Each structure stands twice: as C-alpha cells, then as structure tokens.
C-alpha cells in the first residue's frame, strides 16, 4: 500500500557505545504508508536504530531526512512534533493505570470548552466529548472495551496495549515505531493486535517500522523486511518473494540468502 514518496531516509548513520559499534553506516529508507519489518538477532542493533529515530539516542554521525527535510531528533518531544511515535513492548507502562481509558487516550491533549459560553476563559475539560470520541475511536479500530470510563488497571494486557495504540493513533502519527509490540501478549491477543497493525497501516495512511523476533508475524504483516546483523544492514527482501529460511540465514549470517539490491535512490 505504499506510494513512492520517501518518508524517512537515514544516510551513513553510526552509533558507538564506547568500544562497541552498535550501528555501522546504516542507510535505510521508509516509504510513505509502508510497513517495514526490522529483524535480527540479539545485539544486531534493532533497538539502537529505533531509539535513534524516536529521539531517545543521538547518532554519532550520519544524517536523517524526514519528509524531505534534514532533521535533528534531539529528544522524544521533538519526535512527536515531527509525527514520530513509539510503542514499546510494555506499552502499558506508558499509561496512567488509575485513570479512565478516555483520560489515557487524551493524555496531554485534552479537549476543553469555555466554562461560560460568552467568555473565552476559564476553560474546562469537555469530558462528554472526549468519552464519546474515545468510544468511537475504539469502535472504529474494533478494540473491545466496554466502558471508556473504567480505569485502565481493570483491563487485560492486550486491551491496555490497544488503548495505548489508540492514544497514539489519535495524534495522527506519520511514522509509528513498534518495538516488539506482541512480546507480552497471549496468542489470541497477539493475533488481534497484528490484524490491527495491518489495518491501521492501510486505513490511517501511516508508515510503520515493526521490530520483532517473530518471523511468523513479520511475514504476516509487513511490506518489506530489513535484516540487521552486527550493526549492519545485511539484506532486504519482500515477504512475498522470499522464504523464511532465506531470512533466517541472513539473520544468522549463513550463506544462501537472496538479498535484494539495496534501496539507494
């Protein structure tokens, strides 16, 4: 479902932690409305790469272009301003547990209305509007939450993940970074979340980078797979034209992979 416009381009990005070279000369492109799967073994540099894009780490060298402009993502807030949002393995850590689902979806972006209609100030929270909007948003994502007024602690892990995802989608992101989103979930919840990810990529017109250990789910969801090994991109392929065995051999570094030509436009 991608179009040909480049959303994110990384050129010669490197990052070291002391002696350890976590990322070596990374060149990577993400197109508009594309879902990219980032795979690799432990210590391959997946998390480092994601953290750089999310503004949690700063690269030692290299350039990052977003929407055609060269940018400097110095902190998470800067990333939000650009439209880059991250959801972690434990997304629920990014929720306020004793507050309602609605309050969590609108966290930091609450809707208000004037207290007296004729005066612009003081403004109060428009709770009814937020609850209605939250309910509608969750329904449109087919997330099964019976009441947006109940606190987040009373819902299951999968439902909390979905609420966190809804809270981010409400902000209309351009690029969504998913760092092992299904790692803490049960089979049924995992299936549901993957479907959700696949759908929002198409319907909400956003690009997604999905980091995962699970090749099954990567093949299921993504448009393109990027394989990292020892801080380098060792191959790219499309799930429709590559076998899992080929990707596995790229991850572990055995021969027999069939890497595509690297995208270097």
Partner 1 sequence: MAPPLYFNMITNFSRVVELQRKQLLTIILENAVWIILCIFVIINAFVTPKFLTLLNIRNILINASVLGIVVIAESLCLLSGHLDLSVESTLAFGAVIGALLLRNNLPVPVAIVSVLLSGVAVGFLNGLLVRKVGLNAFVATLITYIGVRGIALGIVEGKTIWNLPVSYCFLGAGTVFQIPVQILVLILLYVFFYWLLTSTKFGRHVYLIGDNPVAAWARGVNLDRVIISVFVISGFLSAFAGWMQSGRVNSATPNFATGMVFDAMASAIIGGVSLHGGVGSLPMALGGVLLLTSINNVLNLHAVSPYWIQTIRALMILLAVLLDSFKRRLVRYAG
Q: Is 12 in the site for partner 1 (CB under 8 A)?
A: no
Q: Is 153 in the site for partner 1 (CB under 8 A)?
A: yes
Give the range of 43-51, 102-110, 203-211, 230-238 binding partner 1 by CB under 8 A.
102-110
Q: Is 139 in the site for partner 1 (CB under 8 A)?
A: no
Q: Is 94 in the site for partner 1 (CB under 8 A)?
A: yes
Q: Which residue has the tokens 């790219």?
A: 236
Least Å distance, CB 231 to partner 1, is 27
Least Å distance, CB 66 to partner 1, is 18
3-state helix, strand, coil in the chain (%, to 5): 35, 30, 40
Q: Is 122 in the site for partner 1 (CB under 8 A)?
A: yes
Strand order in 6-17's β-sheet? 20-31, 6-17, 61-66, 69-71
User: Among 123, 139, 149, 199, which residue sits at the site for partner 1 (rule: CB under 8 A)?
Assistant: 123
Half-sphere exposure of 65 (CA within 13 A, CB side): 14
Q: Is 181 in the site for partner 1 (CB under 8 A)?
A: no
User: Are 68 and 240 within 8 A, CB to CB?
Assistant: no
Q: Is 89 in the site for partner 1 (CB under 8 A)?
A: no
Q: Is 124 in the site for partner 1 (CB under 8 A)?
A: yes
Closest CB to partner 1 among residues 13, 95 = 95
In the chain the first and final C-alpha atoms are separated, in Å, by 19
CA distance 193 to 152: 17
User: Are 253 and 66 within 8 A, CB to CB?
Assistant: no
Least Å distance, CB 150 to partner 1, is 7
User: Among 16, 154, 214, 230, which residue sits at the site for partner 1 (rule: CB under 8 A)?
Assistant: 154
Q: Which residue has the tokens 């492109």?
A: 29
Preceding peptide of 68 cis, ω within 30°: no
Token pair, residue 157, equals 């892990």
User: Among 28, 53, 59, 155, which residue sits at the site for partner 1 (rule: CB under 8 A)?
Assistant: 155
Least Å distance, CB 102 to partner 1, is 11
> What DSSP element (H or E) covers 196?
helix 187-203
Q: Which residues are near partner 1 by CB under 8 A? A: 76-77, 80, 93-99, 103-104, 107-110, 112, 122-125, 150-151, 153-155, 167
């Amino acid at each position: 479902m991608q179009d040909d416009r480049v959303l994110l381009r990384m050129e010669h990005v490197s990052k070291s932690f002391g002696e350890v070279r976590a990322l070596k000369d990374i060149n990577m492109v993400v197109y508009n409305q594309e879902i990219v799967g980032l795979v690799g073994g432990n210590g391959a540099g997946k998390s480092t790469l994601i953290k750089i894009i999310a503004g949690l780490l700063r690269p030692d060298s290299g350039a990052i272009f977003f929407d055609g402009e060269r940018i400097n993502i110095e902190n998470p807030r800067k990333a939000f301003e650009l439209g880059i949002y991250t959801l972690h393995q434990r997304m629920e850590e990014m929720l306020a547990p004793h507050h309602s689902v609605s309050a969590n979806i609108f966290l930091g972006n609450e809707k208000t209305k004037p207290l007296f209609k004729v005066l612009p100030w003081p403004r109060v929270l428009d709770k009814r509007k937020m609850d209605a909007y939250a309910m509608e948003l969750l329904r449109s994502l087919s997330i099964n939450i019976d009441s947006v007024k109940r606190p987040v602690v009373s819902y299951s892990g999968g439902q909390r993940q979905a609420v966190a995802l809804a809270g981010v989608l409400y902000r209309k992101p351009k690029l969504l970074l998913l760092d092992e989103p299904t790692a803490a979930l049960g089979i049924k919840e995992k299936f549901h979340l993957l479907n959700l990810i696949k759908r929002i990529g198409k319907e909400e017109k956003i690009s997604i980078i999905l980091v995962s250990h699970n090749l099954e789910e990567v093949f299921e969801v993504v448009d393109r797979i990027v394989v990292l090994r020892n801080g380098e991109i060792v191959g790219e392929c499309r799930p429709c034209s590559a076998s899992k065995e080929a990707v596995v051999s790229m991850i572990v570094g055995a021969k027999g992979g069939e890497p595509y030509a690297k995208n270097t436009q």
